[in-house]
Structure 1
Amino acid sequence: MIARILLAIMAALACSGVARAGEPAPFTADSLERIEARYAGRPFILSLWSVNECSYCIAELTLFGKFARTHRGLPLVLVAADSPAYVPAMRQTLERLGLAGVDAWVFDDPIPERLRHAIDPAWYGELPRTYLYDARHRRQAVVGELGERRLRAWLREQRLDH
C-alpha cells in the first residue's frame, strides 16, 4: 500500500514538471530544443532507452556508466521512452550502473509517438537509439547498441577522450 502511494506521488511529481535532484525530468515535445540549447556549441550524446521494453539498453547503459567513471563530465543525456510510472525503476537502474548524476529524462506524453517524432521523424521506437551530436549539432543516429569502439572513436573526434 505504501509503495503504491509513493509510486503515485513520484509519478505525479514527474508529470507536474518538477523533478527532484537525481530524478528524470519530464520529456515533452519541446524538451529536445531545451537540451540542444543547454549544450549549444558543445558535443553531446543523446541516448534513448527503456527500463521496461529494452534488454539491449542495459548493456549500453553499462558502457556509459563505465565511461562516466573514466571521463569526468561525459556529455550524456539519457531519455527513457517509458512513462513516468517507471521512474523508480529507472532511478534504481541508473544508480546501479553509476549514472545517477547524468542528465536524465522520461517521456511524459500519453501519445509517445509525438515525442518520437519530435526527436526524429524517422524513428519508429526501436531501442536503444543514440544520437551523437558534434559541437555544431550535426548528429549521427546509431540504431542498436553503440558499442565501445564507436564511443571511443566519437570521443576522440570530439576531443573528449581525456
Structure 2
Amino acid sequence: MRRHLCLAMAVLSMLTLPAAAQDLKPFVAGSMKEITAARQGKPFILGMWSLTCTHCREDLALLSSLVKKHPDLDLVLVATDTPEEGEEIGTTLRQSGLGGAQAWVFADPFAERLRFEIDPKWHGELPRTYLYDPSHKTLAFSGKLDGLQLEQWLKKYYTRR
C-alpha cells in the first residue's frame, strides 16, 4: 500500500511540474535500485545537490568541466529539493552545462527515507558525491569536490583505450 501511495505521489508530482522541468525524474523509494540496475557493470557518478547549497553550484561547475573533457561520463544528478522547484532545477542544470545529465528530484515528503536508500551513512549534508566503479563499489564524498581526485578516478575508468 505504501509503495502504491509513493508511486501515486510521484506521478502526481510529475503532472504538476512545469513543461521545462518534465525531463526531471521523480526520485522515490526504489529509484536508487533503478539507477544502479541501469548501469550494471558500468562506472558512474551520482551527485546529490540542492538549489540552496553554495558549494553545490561549485561542484556542478566542476562536473560540467569533467563532462566536457569526458563526454562518455555517466553522470546522475539528484536534487534534494522538491518537484515544485523543477523549473528552477532544470534552468540551473542547463546554465551549468549539465542539461544532458540524467536528472532526478526528491519526490517523497520523507527525505530521510530517500537518503537512507541512497546511503544509510548519509545524514543529508550537501554536496554529496558518490563514485561508482564498474562493480558498484562506491567512494563517497561530502562537501566540495576535489578536482584532482576526480580526474584520477576518471583516468581509471574513462580513459579511452
Q: TM-score, normalization: structure 1?
A: 0.85
1:26 — aligned with what? Answer: 26
Instruction: Give CA-to-partner distance per residue, 1:35-58, whole Å, 9 cap, x none.
Output: 001110000001100013x11000
AA aligned opposite 1:74: L
Instruction: Give CA-to-partner distance per residue, 1:62-100, whole Å, 9 cap, x none.
Output: 011111122112110000111101111111111111100
Question: Relative to structure 1, is the Cα distance of residues 20 and 48 closer, same or farther in structure 2, using a 3 angstrom cutoff?
Answer: same
1:134 — aligned with what? Answer: 133
2:5 — aligned with what? Answer: none
Q: Does 1:63 align with 2:62?
A: yes
1:73 — aligned with what? Answer: 72
**Which runs of 5 or more structure 2 residues have no equivalent in the other structure?**
1-10
Question: Relative to structure 1, is the Cα distance of residues 22 and 74 closer, same or farther in structure 2, using a 3 angstrom cutoff?
Answer: farther
Instruction: Give CA-to-partner distance per residue, 1:116-162, whole Å, 9 cap, x none.
Output: 1111111110000011000000001111122210110110121x145
1:7 — aligned with what? Answer: none
Task: Confirm or deny: 8 A CA contact 2:20 2:90 kept in the other structure.
Answer: no
**Which runs of 5 or more structure 1 residues have no equivalent in the other structure?**
1-10
How large is the Cα RMSD of the aligned pairs? 2.2
**1:1-162 → structure 2 map (5 Å cutoff):** 12=12, 14=14, 23-52=23-52, 54-158=53-157, 160-162=158-160
Task: Confirm or deny: 8 A CA contact 1:152 1:161 kept in the other structure.
Answer: no
Task: Confirm or deny: 8 A CA contact 2:28 2:107 kept in the other structure.
Answer: yes
Q: TM-score, normalization: structure 2?
A: 0.85
Name the count of aligned residue pairs. 149
The percent of aligned pairs where both chains have the same amino acid is 43
AA aligned opposite 2:146: G
Question: Relative to structure 1, is the Cα distance of residues 127 and 21 closer, same or farther in structure 2, using a 3 angstrom cutoff?
Answer: closer
Deviation of 1:105 after TM superposition, in Å, equals: 0.3
AA aligned opposite 1:29: A
Task: Confirm or deny: 8 A CA contact 2:21 2:86 kept in the other structure.
Answer: no
